[in-house]
Structure 1
Amino acid sequence: GRHPGLRFVFADGGYDILTPLMWRLDTFWMSMRDQTPWVDRFPSAYLQDHVRFCTSALDGPTDESQAERWMDFTDKADLLMYGSNYPHWSTTGPDAVVAGLNDAQREKVLCRNASEMYGLVEGSLL
């Protein structure tokens, strides 16, 4: 593309629309591929290279035992970064945000995704 280094971070909301957004992008693209011949993969696949969402709460199942599966659905753990939402009254600590996630998902949400997005460090920090 024309702007391979362009990145977007939705820092105050937007994560709640991620699953339906990804589904809609891919579904509509399948039926309209002839109108966008330069798009050579599912539109949701572009998100990994260009988009991140900050969250201070897991938007998904309220049952922690389902959180890991929910994050694996459409690989959302790769797109999410923890943000405390401080100083708002709804500030949430990182432990609450990653409750129920596996070790790899926790590392991505709490550290790796932001680190890679902003080019801070290489490798694991947790």
Structure 2
Amino acid sequence: MSPASYFIEHHSLYPLLYTTHFNSLICEGVFERFPTLRVVFVEGGFSWLLPALWSLDNHWDALRSDLHQVKRRPSEYVREHIRFSSQPIEEPSDPRHLDRVLEWLDAEHILMFATDYPHWDGDYDPRQLFRTLPKSTRRRILAANALELYNLPSTRPASEPELARS
């Protein structure tokens, strides 16, 4: 086994790296020790999360005595502590499949839009990416989730030119 030689090889391995870190945060009880900690997984996609959660929850149900530091099912920590950026988005040929994954993951609450600008492989048109989702879900993914996580206002102060025009 050698390091990845090609971009496609390297890029397609990202989910494994992110899954490793995700599993470690959960299984080591990090969120029990640091209950206000919030983590954002950026540029790792999110399609890997669903099978990771299924696996962790199933194993936790059977082996929870091994993980005394994990007080709840692993999936329960996600909405409270972890967010994921949308980039890179792994789009299936049928957009309905992506919609189902987004629904199963509760993406309305855990996903934040990212473009990866200015890289050539970025996701630059959010209207295209999430076109089939309800408007309220799109709004949360495109703005509200990040505003809430970072405790930012949903409006901004008017600029001098805007004030002069009013």
Q: 2:107 is matched with which residue?
A: 76
Q: In terms of mean alpha carbon deviation, does 49-58 or 23-32 score higher?
A: 49-58
Following TM superposition, the consecutive aligned residue runs of length 4 or more in structure 1 with deviations greater than 4 angstroms are none
Q: 2:142 is matched with which residue?
A: 110
Q: Could you tell me which runs of 5 or more consecutive residues in structure 1 were left unpaired when the two chains were aligned.
A: none
Please say if 1:56 is aligned against 2:87: yes
2 CA distance for matches of 1:100 and 1:57? 18
Question: Please, what TM-score do these two structures have when normalized by structure 1?
Answer: 0.82
Question: Please, what TM-score do these two structures have when normalized by structure 2?
Answer: 0.64
Q: Does the 8 A contact of 2:43 with 2:87 survive in 1? A: no
Q: 1:101 is matched with which residue?
A: 133
Post-superposition shift, 1:58? 3.9
Q: How many percent identity over aligned positions? A: 34
Post-superposition shift, 1:82? 0.5
Q: Map residues 1-126 of structure 1 onto 2, 5 A cutoff.
A: 1-56=32-87, 58-91=89-122, 92-121=124-153
Q: Which has the larger radius of gyration?
A: 2
Of structures 1 and 2, the one scoring higher in RCO (CA 8 A, sep 6+) is 1
Superposed CA RMSD? 2.0
Post-superposition shift, 1:89? 0.8
Q: Could you tell me which runs of 5 or more consecutive residues in structure 2 were left unpaired when the two chains were aligned.
A: 1-31, 155-166
Aligned residues: 122
